[in-house]
Amino acid sequence: MDRAGFSGVVRLQHGPSRLLAATLIAGHMVGAAGLLLLKWDAAWLRLVLLALGLSLILGLRREAWRCAMGSVTQLVVHGGGRVLLVRRDGRRIEGVLVSGSFVAPFLIILRWRPPAGGRIRHVTVAADGTDAQGHRLLRVLLRHPL
């Protein structure tokens, strides 16, 4: 698609991602292996491993499987830097892009913040969780803003 045919708006439907699930599981397993190498008291180690397990479950539900109510199911990115996120519970959240988003062929980590300010937030978009054309357009838009 040439630049003249591009409207400057990318709309993505977010679905479950096996790639993101595998990445989350691998990262948490490496973290658990590292914790087991530490010489901590058994009670503390169990507590930290429990927290790590809960973190994995919450991450899978929200980011990889997209079944939590706070999961982003739709994403609209405008060339001017505006972002609209639609969550599973129907809530629509507007924001502005912040520099420093991670863009790779298989994964995008979009950095944004609410227009009134506040902390920077992230949305993870895996290539297997959305359509290929939309993922490609979002990568191009983030690398070469209008």
95-140 pLDDT tens trace: 999 999 999 999 999 999 999 989 999 999 999 999 999 999 999 9
Residues 53 and 80 in one domain: no
Rounded to whole angstroms, the Cα distance separating 106 from 114 reads 26
CA–CA separation, 46 and 5 (whole Å): 56
CB contact at 8 A, 19 and 107: yes
Domain end, chosen from 64, 86, 101, is at 64
102-103 and 107-113 beta bridge pairing: antiparallel
- From 48, 5, 20, 39, select the one nearest 128 (Cα to Cα): 20
Shared domain for 78 and 137, answered yes or no, is yes
**Model confidence over 1-13: pLDDT tens digits?**
444 456 789 999 9
Full domain range(s) for residue 25: 18-64
